[in-house]
Amino acid sequence: MKRYSVFAIAREAMRYHQGWEKAWASPAPKKKYDVVIVGAGGHGLATAYYLGKNFGITNVAIIEKGWLGGGNTGRNTTIIRSNYLQDPSAAIYEKARGLYETMSQDLNYNVMFSPRGVMMLAQTEAEIRGYKRTAQANAYQGVKTEFIGAERVKELCPIIRIDGPRYPVLGALWQERGGTARHDAVAWGYARACSNMGMDIIQQCEVTAVTQENGKVTGVETSKGHIGCNKLASLVAGNSGHLANMAGFNLPMESVALQALVSEPIKPCMDVVVMANTVHGYMSQSDKGEMVIGGGTDAFNNFTQRGSFHHIEETVRALIETFPMVSRLKMLRQWGGIVDVTGDRSPIISKTPLGNMFINGGWGTGGFKSIPGSGWAMAELVANGEPGPLAAEFGLDRFRQGRFIDESVAAGVAH
């Protein structure tokens, strides 16, 4: 496959861009693969990529019922940060954030990583205490964050209202190298690299059953027929429960809709990401100028990929009190994704009761930022059959043993 470069762009410009080849192939499925990955979201594609890159395993199929990146990976608000409280979380999210720093070069695909800085506002005394504690934990974990005062918040984000009507801004947890990336580009970049390694990305192909023999997976039934495999990996986010049920076990996980909206594009006015957990809303500005806004999850389980209207009202109300200029904006689009939420708000990267099936899910409202770290750890688990250091604490057995990795605070507004 041709390398993307400034020379390639110049060459193609001279010949009316006729020479670009397709970024990834669309093959028919083979009868059998070493590894079948269900779900061509960021996590599935990243797992495939690191299976090839780190372990030389390339006889891999990535099976997707819709189109690649069409799940939560293409629906999120793209916030990247690693300021989590617990050690295992900080380790995997910081690994991911580090991989984002060089992702465009590694994949030869511009994922538009923009480390513009992320701040989580403290608007109550309890939040101040919580974020100071996280900043302290991050210092021990080697994650660079700091607690900043209200004046610095205003300096970094002039459109913010410090003396809000209900909750004044008292400070913030600030991660300077947090930021955003273009979410579709992350999926497309990994897909192109996987296809380049000879892996098969099979879209419009729904897995409907998991076939087994003597307690081991033999393959999957799909809308394109049976596909055999030596190992099966499930990375289907909000559909994780369904996949597990097909294989005969349950997951301690719920699926709920989470929604986001964007405004009409306006002039650049905000070059950081701001999350306001107490009033419940968060905002950043996209490269196109739209204000990207996110809110909370529905309080009931569903698979609608829509989200309910009252959340839009609540989110916009929260943002208007934090950023009064929002009241003058027109909203352009709204959408939802189905996120997979665990009780401790931490992911599952785990072996399953079936020896050769592995599961990665439960990233809930915040799994875009973890895509490269999660793929790295999952590839290690699938290749070796045992978790490496990044995944070791995220096994399913933690729910039975009461070893929760409580991130309910770090995952407040989430993301």
Ligand X SMILES: Cc1cc2nc3c(=O)[nH]c(=O)nc-3n(C[C@H](O)[C@H](O)[C@H](O)COP(=O)(O)OP(=O)(O)OC[C@H]3O[C@@H](n4cnc5c(N)ncnc54)[C@H](O)[C@@H]3O)c2cc1C
To the nearest whole angstrom, how small is the minimum distance from the Cβ of residue 186 to ligand X?
A: 9
368 binds ligand X (CB under 6 A): yes
76 binds ligand X (CB under 6 A): yes
- In this chain, which of 239, 285, 346, 356 binds ligand X, going by CB under 6 A? 239
Q: Among residues 43 and 182, whose Cβ is nearest to ligand X?
A: 43
- In this chain, which of 164, 281, 366, 412 binds ligand X, going by CB under 6 A? 366
Rounded Cα distance between 133 and 375, Å, is 29
Q: Among residues 76 and 356, whose Cβ is nearest to ligand X?
A: 76
Rounded Cα distance between 152 and 155, Å, is 5
To the nearest whole angstrom, how small is the minimum distance from the Cβ of residue 311 to ligand X?
A: 10
188 binds ligand X (CB under 6 A): no
Check if the beta carbon of residue 66 is closer than 8 Å to that of residue 203. yes
297 binds ligand X (CB under 6 A): no
Q: Among residues 170 and 185, whose Cβ is nearest to ligand X?
A: 185
Nearest residue to the partner ligand X, using Cβ: 41
CB neighbourhood size of 230 (10 A): 15
Binding segment toward ligand X, per CB under 6 A, in 27-35, 121-129, 131-139, 367-375: 367-375
Rounded Cα distance between 362 and 255, Å, is 9
Rounded Cα distance between 8 and 14, Å, is 10
Where are the extended beta strands (E) located within 10-158?
A: 32-38, 60-63, 79-80, 118-122, 146-149
Binding segment toward ligand X, per CB under 6 A, in 5-13, 117-125, 315-323, 362-370: 362-370
Rounded Cα distance between 303 and 328, Å, is 33
42 binds ligand X (CB under 6 A): yes
Distance from chain centroid for Cα 287: 19
DSSP reduced 3-state for 69: coil
281 binds ligand X (CB under 6 A): no
Check if the beta carbon of residue 188 is closer than 8 Å to that of residue 105. no
363 binds ligand X (CB under 6 A): yes
Q: What is the full DSSP assignment across 147-198?
A: EEEHHHHHHH-TTS-TT-SSS---EEEEETT-EE--HHHHHHHHHHHHHHTT
219 binds ligand X (CB under 6 A): no
Q: Among residues 120 and 170, whose Cβ is nearest to ligand X?
A: 120
Give the CA radius of gyration of the chain.
21
- Residues 3-32 contacting ligand X, CB under 6 A: none
Q: Which residue has the tokens 């093959």?
A: 27
97 binds ligand X (CB under 6 A): no
- In this chain, which of 47, 58, 77, 86 binds ligand X, going by CB under 6 A? 77
From residue 43 to residue 72, the character string flagging contacts with ligand X as x (rule: CB under 6 A) and all else as - is xx------------------xxxx---xxx
- Residues 258-277 contacting ligand X, CB under 6 A: 258-260
Binding segment toward ligand X, per CB under 6 A, in 256-264, 311-319, 321-329, 399-407: 256-264
Check if the beta carbon of residue 231 is closer than 8 Å to that of residue 36. yes
DSSP reduced 3-state for 294: strand
Q: What CA–CA distances, in Å, run from 133 to 81, 95, 159?
A: 17, 21, 27
Q: Among residues 39 and 219, whose Cβ is nearest to ligand X?
A: 39
Q: Among residues 58 and 365, whose Cβ is nearest to ligand X?
A: 365
The residue ranges that bind ligand X (CB under 6 A) are 38-44, 63-66, 70-73, 75-79, 206-207, 235-237, 239, 258-260, 294, 337, 339, 363, 365-369, 415
